[in-house]
A = this chain, B = another copy of it.
Amino acid sequence: MREKSYLLLVHHPTVDREGKIITSAITTLDMHDFARLAKTYGLGGVLVQTNLPQQVELIKRLLGHWTEGYGGERNAHRKEAIEGVTFWPTVSESLGAVQKAHGERPIVIATSARDVGLPVITFAEARKKCEESGGPSVIVFGTASGLAQEVFSECDYVVEPIGSPSGYNHLSVRSAASIVVDRIFG
């Protein structure tokens, strides 16, 4: 049921390095990397959340190069991936959109490098939940220094940390999402 699984990239509320709640800036590069990742693993698509409508307008104009403009003609693969990206003002609304599309509340699995007070499941368990439930699912990623605590109240589980043999645990959200998706859906 991987085609009912979505990646949600949250820009607000996230936290900075001091734990302060912020809105991080959308980057086109994250959109491209997430879109290509979701497409490669056969997922349903990418949900991008931000509370700043101006950023959505800007990013849509930039992505339009790939979906409607010259970039899409030159690179049909990229167009195909980018078309799977949608934008939402809140985490609730992005989850609501998945529920509406599939007529069923999605299983919502957060990612975090720290203890967030949710049941922790392994990657194998996450795979089982996403693939065997028959229903939709959403894997939630935070930009900046991660998801703010209030986001976890909308999630059912948190998947185990990626782990680091070196003790250094500061992957980019692009790297972390790639590894998480590969471990769950690879």
B-binding residues in A (CB < 8 A): 2, 17, 29, 32-33, 36-37, 39-42, 74-75, 77-78, 80-81, 162-166, 168-172, 174-179, 182-183, 185-186
Contact = CB atoms under 8 A, between A and B. Distances in A.
Chain A residues touching B, majority SS:
helix
B178 A171 contact: yes
B164 A40 contact: yes
Nearest to A3: B166
Contacts of A165: 2, 41-42, 185
Contacts of A179: 178-179, 182, 186
Contacts of A170: 36, 39-40, 77-78, 81
Contacts of A39: 166, 168, 170
Contacts of A81: 168, 170
